[in-house]
Chains A and B, each alone.
Chain A
Amino acid sequence: MTRVNPSHLLIELEHVLESDPLIDEVGFVHPSQFLVLNGDQPQTKNISEMPSGSDANASGNFWNRDHKLGISIGVLLPLYNAAKQAFMEAVERYKKELKEEYGEDSVSASFFNSLDCLENDVMKHSRALLLLSSDFGTAWNSRKQIVSKKQQLAMFVDELHLSKLILSYSPKSERAWSHRRWAIKIISRKFVNLQEIVEEESELVKGLAERSKMNYRAWNHRCWLVSYMSRGQILHELRKSKDWAGLNVADSSCFHYRARLLLWLLDHVGNCNQDANFGVELYLVWKEELNWVEGLIKRYIGREALWLHRRFLSVCWINHFATLSLNAPGQDIDKSLLTHDTDIFISNELQLFQSCTVIPDNNFEDYKAQATYAATYIMWLMKQVPEFPKVEASKLNILLKELCPEKSTIWDGLISLCGNI
């Protein structure tokens, strides 16, 4: 590779970012892929053809089309070093200037000019640096400092855009997510209602979760939004995330998100006296969720996430609805719903367990996993639900040791929690 001047690389990158502010995706690309990318569609611009008049663009280390940016992995190290140095110098000058000038009695016009200049530099270099090192906290912080000083909606929105861009290549970046929440909190306090943002954020997480499975930070962001949602939005989110969950049955983060939404409804059903139907509605939502998960369990054999979601649904069902139907005679609940009492529920779960312990000859491993999850599901209910009969714990122990002798230690430990053996 030809040696390039690192500071020219940085200028080039910053030029690309400035000339295409709508870039929404960035990736690190092997030099050989540049030929492919360019050969793809020879007429569209690669950076060297951009109308800048500067030779700095001719290095062929960047690729930009349709608001996508590619950076050659061959230049990452010198580019990072240049960006870091430029940023650290700018932020140091900026902080020094702030300290010195505010210490004096009169603040001159030239101070504001030079401060504006320094702020621009910090914003420009921190953006380039964060594209290369997404968890560089000091760079995010310097942006927070400048943006909070200006208090302009457009600038906060720009921060959301930058954070989204960085999440496009680094979807687990802790700092990018937390910067996002910081900006959203201020936007909602000062400018618009957060409920308007919720929808957009939810879509963002959905998109990222598609490419980055079981991403704790992404789903945590969506969970964080829940406390800002209205009841209508909660129900809407429940409907919306259902199809995705059905297609991604191993993503237990998505099922936790559903559990979070359902718990929100459960927490709010009590203090909603003006709306008696809410209780009935939630009862039906819960029942539907139980049926839906049972269907998924039977279709997708041996998925831990589904069984864990069922544990959650079942224990809440017993604690809140099986008793609700008895304790709330004044409520206008259809009599047919009352048939779903604890006894019927328990016998249904035992039946589900039985049906899942049948192991056909093919697909041996998946069915063994299924039977194992079914057995631990029943044991878990025996521990967590006082009404649940302490059925044949010793038989469950034998079954588990047959299915998965590798985990005998665990089975002995767990069975000791399930009442008398």
Chain B
Amino acid sequence: MGELVVEKHTKYIVTVEKSKDSFESVVMEHLRLNGAYWGLTTLDIMGKLDVVDQDEVVSWIMQCQHESGGFGGNIGHDPHLLYTLSAIQVLGLFNKTDVLDIDKVANYIAGLQNADGSFNGDIWGEVDTRFSYIAICSLALLRRLDKINVEKAVEYIVSCKNVDGGFGCTPGAESHAGQIFCCVGALAITGSLDRVDKDLLGWWLCERQLKSGGLNGRPEKLADVCYSWWVLSSLIMIDRVHWIDKDKLIKFILDCQDKEKGGISDRPDDAVDVFHTYFGVAGLSLLEYPGLKPVDPAYALPVDVVNRIFFSK
């Protein structure tokens, strides 16, 4: 079995951030804050966060913030919960959450809760359990969960549970590993995991492992590295991770590396990107691959970062 080429991945993450010479790279600029979270968290898990200029990143992040308190995906872009969580997480990595006006950000998030407990992603009203997770995770990291109706938020998430034990983006929507991570993560953070049928959900999740060792995100789909994170973290949170073959999954992720140029792809021999590089490395961390910092499955941040946030005064 090959090894994780840490140095190559580090170099890949640093250079990909700077490249602006192809349509494929510039066309992602509206979600640059998500990209920053993926790249920087990967670096931190590998113990390489010191290769980036903290102050430069922090000052850029603060330029993405709006009057409302929410963050856009880049400077000049409209605010959305998707980028607000990334901003909080990246500032957490750098131990810089004190640059935030905490209540202002928390009020922005809390203001997006609906009467039924669900959350809009922004002022335009799209509802999704991903936004429930983001709101709950963000407010927990800001230690302002008291600003929302947690009980109703939990009820809404539970209403998205399907007959197969999984969760979708809204009530009645198809189960999807990414949505399941969001729902289980939100329930874990709010101490509501008793609302999950762990055996049934664990069943659905472990059936995602294919013969190759890789995991898919829905029935009949191909294995994909990003689901190493979503499926695996969910299995850990509901305490059913022993149902899958960890060694084969490690091998699958390592086989998706570009060993020359760095980076990880969705499946072997495909083109690499930062998104899959993050999910591959974070997945390996959950699988206790040597030399990596442990990651918290609910907050999607290194455990030491989460501890620092919760145990600081």
Q: Does A238 contact B (CB under 8 A)?
A: no
Q: Is the CB of B218 within 8 A of A406?
A: no
Please encode chain B, from 25 to 54, with 1 for each CB lying within 8 Å of some chain A CB and 0 for all others.
Answer: 011001100000000000000000000000
B240 close to A (CB within 8 Å): yes
Say whether B207 faces chain A, with CB atoms less than 8 Å apart: yes
Assess whether B23 is in contact with A216, with CB atoms less than 8 Å apart.
no
Whether B146 is near chain A, meaning CB under 8 Å from some CB there, is no
CA–CA, A182 and B122, complex, Å: 12
A144 at the interface (CB under 8 A from B): yes
Q: What residues of A have a CB within 8 angstroms of the CB of B270 in the complex? A: none
Pick the residue among A73, A144, A223, A250 that contacts B220 (CB under 8 A): A250
**Are B76 and A88 interface neighbours, CB within 8 A?**
yes
State whether B27 touches A137 (Cβ < 8 A): no
Interface residues on B, range: 35 or more
* Residue in A137, A178, A417 whose Cβ sees the most chain B Cβ within 10 Å: A137
Known: A76-B23, A226-B172. A216 touches B203 (CB 8 A): no
| Contact present for B124 and A417 (CB under 8 Å) | no
| In the complex, A161 has a CB within 8 A of chain B | no
Assess the A315–B163 pair: CB atoms within 8 A.
Answer: yes
| Binary A-proximity of B49-89 (CB < 8 A = 1, otherwise 0) | 00000000000000000000000110011101000000000
Q: Are B173 and A181 in touch, CB under 8 angstroms? A: no
Q: Does A256 contact B (CB under 8 A)?
A: yes
B164 at the interface (CB under 8 A from A): yes
Q: Is B169 an interface residue (CB 8 A)?
A: yes
Whether B26 and A384, one on each chain, are in contact in the complex, defined by CB atoms closer than 8 angstroms, is: no
Instruction: Determine whether B97 belongs to the interface, using a CB cutoff of 8 Å to chain A.
Output: no
Are A220 and B76 CB-contacts (below 8 A) given A251-B220, A407-B245? no
Contact residues in A for B22 (Cβ distance below 8 Å) = 77
Docked-complex contact B30 and A214, CB < 8 angstroms:
no
Please, which residue of chain A has its CB at the minimum distance from the CB of B217? A216
Indicate which residue in B26, B164, B240, B243 contacts A308 across the interface (CB closer than 8 Å): B164
Tell me if B's interface is mostly helix, strand, loop or mixed.
Answer: loop
A136 x B173 contact (CB < 8 A): no
> Is B18 engaged at the interface, CB distance under 8 Å to the other chain?
no
With A182-B125, A263-B172 given, is the CB distance from A407 to B30 under 8 Å? no
- Complex Cα spacing A219 to B168, Å: 12
**Given contacts A137-B73, A223-B172, A260-B172, are A216 and B218 in contact (CB under 8 A)?**
yes
Q: Given A216-B218, A311-B164, does the pair A141, B78 have CB atoms closer than 8 Å?
A: yes
Least CB distance from A412 to B in Å reads: 8
Whether the pair A220, B221 counts as a contact (CB closer than 8 A) is: no
Q: For A113, what are the chain B residues with a Cβ–Cβ distance below 8 Å?
A: none
**Chain A: CB-nearest residue to B31:** A135
- Alpha-carbon distance A80/B163, docked complex (angstroms): 44
* Complex contact A138–B207 (CB within 8 A): no
- Choose among A73, A376, A412 the residue that contacts B207 (Cβ–Cβ < 8 A): A376
Chain A residue with the shortest CB-CB distance to B245: A409
Whole-angstrom distance between the Cβ of B183 and the nearest chain A Cβ: 15
Q: Given contacts A77-B26, A182-B126, is CB(A406)–CB(B248) below 8 Å?
A: yes
Minimum Cβ distance to chain A for residue B123 (Å): 8
Asked if B30 and A137 sit within 8 Å, CB to CB, the answer is: yes
Known A-B contacts A80-B27, A263-B172; the reply to A406 vs B211 at CB < 8 A is: yes
Closest-CB distance, B194 to chain A (whole angstroms):
18
The answer to whether the Cβ of A206 comes within 8 Å of any Cβ in the partner chain is no
Interface presence of B313 (CB below 8 A):
no
Q: Which residue of A lies closest to B209 (CB)?
A: A410
The distance in angstroms between the C-alpha atoms of A315 and B207, with both chains bound, is: 19
A178 and B82 CA atoms in complex are apart in Å by 15
Q: A274 CA to B76 CA in the complex, in Å?
A: 57
Report the minimum CB–CB distance from A321 to chain B (whole Å): 15
Minimum CB–CB distance for B159 against chain A, Å:
13
**Is the CB–CB distance between B72 and A305 below 8 Å?**
no
* Interfacial chain B residues near A260, Cβ < 8 Å: 172
Docked pose: A227 CA to B200 CA in angstroms: 26
CA distance A305 to B174 in the complex (A): 12
Q: Which of A77, A312, A408 contacts B163 (CB 8 A)?
A: A312
Give the chain B neighbours of A223 by CB distance below 8 A.
172-174
A80-B23, A380-B203, A413-B206 as given contacts; A216 in contact with B164, CB under 8 Å:
no
**A214 and B126: CB pair below 8 A?**
no
Whether the pair B172, A409 counts as a contact (CB closer than 8 A) is no
A220, B174: Cβ atoms under 8 Å? yes
Q: Give residues 199-240 of B contacting A (CB, 8 Å).
A: 199-200, 202-203, 206-207, 209, 211, 218-221, 240
Residues of B within 8 A of A305 (CB): 219-220
B164 touches A312 (CB 8 A): yes
B27, A133: Cβ atoms under 8 Å?
Answer: yes
Tell me which residues across on chain A come within 8 A of B8, comparing CB atoms.
none
Tell me if A253 and B174 are in contact (CB < 8 A): yes
Complex interface: chain A residues within 8 A of B206 (CB): 410, 413-414
Contact check, B72 vs A182: say whether CB atoms are below 8 A apart.
no
How far, in whole Å, are A144 and B126 apart by their CA atoms in the complex?
Answer: 13
Verify A384–B200 contact, CB threshold 8 A: yes
Contacts of B174 in A (CB 8 A): 216, 219-220, 223, 252-253, 256
Q: A137-B73, A410-B209 are in contact. Are A214 and B218 (CB under 8 A)?
A: yes
Distance of A409 Cα from B173 Cα, bound (Å): 30
User: Complex Cα distance A133/B244, Å?
Assistant: 38
Residue in contact with A137 in the complex, picked from B26, B77, B125, B219, CB distance below 8 Å = B77
A220 touches B169 (CB 8 A): yes
Give which listed residue, A77, A138, A404, contacts B211 with CB less than 8 A: A404
Say whether A194 faces chain B, with CB atoms less than 8 Å apart. Answer: no
Nearest residue in B to A404 (C-beta to C-beta)?
B211
Whole-angstrom distance between the Cβ of A3 and the nearest chain B Cβ: 15
Contacts of A81 in B (CB 8 A): 26
With A137-B78, A220-B174, A303-B220 known, 5 other A-B pairs at CB within 8 A are: A77-B26, A80-B26, A181-B126, A260-B172, A407-B245
> What are 18 inter-chain pairs, A to B, with CB distance below 8 A?
A77-B21, A80-B23, A137-B73, A138-B77, A141-B78, A144-B124, A181-B126, A182-B126, A214-B220, A219-B174, A256-B175, A311-B164, A406-B245, A409-B243, A409-B245, A410-B244, A412-B243, A413-B240
